Structure 1
Amino acid sequence: MNQLYKAVKFSRKWFVVALGSFLVAIGLELFLIPNQIIDGGVVGLSIIFSEITPLSLSIYLILINLPFLYLGYREIGKTFAISTMVAVALLAIFVRFFHHIEAATDNAFLATVFGGIVIGIGVGLIIRNGGSLDGTEILAIIGNEKLGFSVGEIVMFFNIFILGSAGFVFGWDRAMYSLIAYFIAFKVIDIVVEGLDESKSVMIISDKPDEIAEAILFRLGRGVTHIYGKGAYTQESKELLYCIVTRIEVAKLKSIVLEHDPNAFVAIEHVHDVLGGRFKKKSIH
């Protein structure tokens, strides 16, 4: 049974990676590239080079990513490098397949919006399964450790240069469309990776922890964990409450807390993912 589970999990991972590469190829060849709009990162660089040289986009996707794949293997790990290599290879194949198919639209605005959405979904699926399509992200992860700049800052630097270069090749209006497409894809990636059902972690410090915990349990159906600590200034023992709720439950939770203790301290943070435990809502009768 355990072997069957591993086989299903393994098959599902590579199917989703293949689906992600397939969607990115559709976004590029049926929306962006026919309208001279590019994506960011290595894909955008490959599109520019394929436009100004005789070599095809598929070849550049492999060639430019090779050094980044080596860096990823050496600095990040074997699993990540293999997932990225497979995703890039599949993208190169799918791009070649879709290259001669007629564009979905010749309207630049529609191509920008829908191309960005489809690419964002595809890249998000690949990232969720431990891979990447963008060699600049690998460089950014390494640069973050060695240069002190954040991953986001390094990726943004590369993409400003790449998207700016599109202005000299395709025209400045297309460069602006490219920037919009990149932004849309970036936001959609976040949604796919983190999910629409965003969760929030809540830390509550109150003099009435038991009453608040009971109200959260029975009125929201969410579990609560008691954490025991001590105030650094007063040296008094404090009982903290910790729970996870969805974003639509935050307002209700705050009203419950203030109803029982108007002086309570509440800290709310975004949670990227929730695994295991008993996060599923309980039915309280």
Structure 2
Amino acid sequence: MKYATTIKEYFAITISTLLIVVGVYFFKFPNNFTFGGVTGLSVVLGRVTPISPSNVNLIMNVVLLILGFLFLGKKFAIKTVYSSLLLSLCLSGLEHYYPMSKPLTDQPMLELVFAVALPAFGSALLFNMDASSGGTDIAALIMQKYTTFDIGHALFYSDVLITLSAFLVFDIKTALFSAFGLLAKSLAIDNVIESINLAKYFNVVCSNPEIICHYIVNELKRSATVCDAEGAFSHKHKYIIFTAMRRPQAVQLRRYIKTVEPDAFILISNTSEIIGKGFHG
């Protein structure tokens, strides 16, 4: 079971990393979009040096991985190492076997959407599995360990500086697209993570909690908490069921409650921060 879980996890990490690869190589690099991170810096250095962006990315990631092992030791996440090396090797491999001399289309805004969306979705999936694609995240971990800097602000300012460098290296249109890409990227990752983790929280006021809890435990494979309550208007004895579950299960529970106890009072709210068994540890 443990090996099956590990294989499943690394398969998901591989798919997530490949999404980043597609977004970076086919949409970010050809258009010279430079909205932060190692890949953004690689675009800039690829223009001002004879080294291609893919090879710059590979060199920088290898250097950062070595620094990660030196300064972070055994706590350095193996999943990040795997994703970072896979990302760098895939970018270099694509450059060798499928070189691109120009963008895929003549629609830079369309390409910017994919340059932001694919890496943002891939990064969000990685973050959700306690992994990352390396790069500036490694530098952030080192800074977090040895300094008192605000890492979030430090990473944001470094992304801003990398994006601003586009105004010095590329034409104004490319620089403006890059600036817009930085804003979109900062919003996209958070929204994707929240959407992935979105669950439903139930407060069910009812008279017969046993049948509802039996359905929750035996059919939906979740648990619940039941409390005694009293109606403020009727003063009748009631019960409140507290439970949380994923969206497909929530649809089933809502339908079931309306069938077995149509007079139940149901409060359903969205939440993406649930810590406990069956959710995040």
Contact 1:69 1:84 in 2 (8 A): no
The residue identity in structure 1 corresponding to 2:119 is: I
Structure 2 portions without partners, runs of 5+: 229-239, 255-262
Rounded Cα–Cα distance in structure 2 between residues aligned with 1:61 and 1:135: 9
Partner of residue 13 from structure 1, selected from 9, 20, 39: 9
Instruction: Give matches, 1:131-170, under 5 Å.
Output: 131-144=131-144, 146-149=147-150, 151-170=151-170
Rounded Cα–Cα distance in structure 2 between residues aligned with 1:273 and 1:86: 27
Instruction: Using the TM superposition, give the Cα deviation of residue 191 of structure 1 relative to its aligned residue in structure 2, in angstroms.
Output: 4.8
Instruction: Using the TM superposition, give the Cα deviation of residue 172 of structure 1 relative to its aligned residue in structure 2, in angstroms.
Output: 3.5
Q: What is the aligned length?
A: 249
Structure 1 portions without partners, runs of 5+: 229-239, 253-258, 262-266, 278-285
Contact 1:26 1:98 in 2 (8 A): no
2:244 is paired with a residue whose SS is strand
- What is the TM-score with the length of structure 1 in the denominator? 0.66
Query: Measured at CA, do residues 159 and 213 of structure 1 come closer, stay the same or move farther in structure 2, by a change above 3 Å?
Result: farther
Contact 1:143 1:154 in 2 (8 A): no
Instruction: Using the TM superposition, give the Cα deviation of residue 55 of structure 1 relative to its aligned residue in structure 2, in angstroms.
Output: 1.2
The residue identity in structure 1 corresponding to 2:11 is: F
Q: Deviations over 1:112-158 (max 9, x none)?
A: 11121111122233334443224322333444453152x32221111
Rounded Cα–Cα distance in structure 1 between residues aligned with 2:25 and 2:105: 11
Instruction: Using the TM superposition, give the Cα deviation of residue 162 of structure 1 relative to its aligned residue in structure 2, in angstroms.
Output: 0.9
Instruction: Report percent identity of matched pairs.
Output: 25
189-198 or 23-32, which deviates more: 189-198
The residue identity in structure 1 corresponding to 2:122 is: G
**Other-structure match for 1:233:** none
1:34 is paired with a residue whose SS is helix
Partner of residue 271 from structure 1, selected from 260, 268, 273: 273
- What is the TM-score with the length of structure 2 in the denominator? 0.67
**Other-structure match for 1:45:** 41
Instruction: Using the TM superposition, give the Cα deviation of residue 79 of structure 1 relative to its aligned residue in structure 2, in angstroms.
Output: 6.6
- 1:24 and 2:26 equivalent? no
Query: Measured at CA, do residues 210 and 43 of structure 1 come closer, stay the same or move farther in structure 2, by a change above 3 Å?
Result: same
Instruction: Using the TM superposition, give the Cα deviation of residue 23 of structure 1 relative to its aligned residue in structure 2, in angstroms.
Output: 2.1
- 1:33 and 2:34 equivalent? no
1:125 is paired with a residue whose SS is helix
**Other-structure match for 1:198:** 198
48-57 or 32-41, which deviates more: 32-41
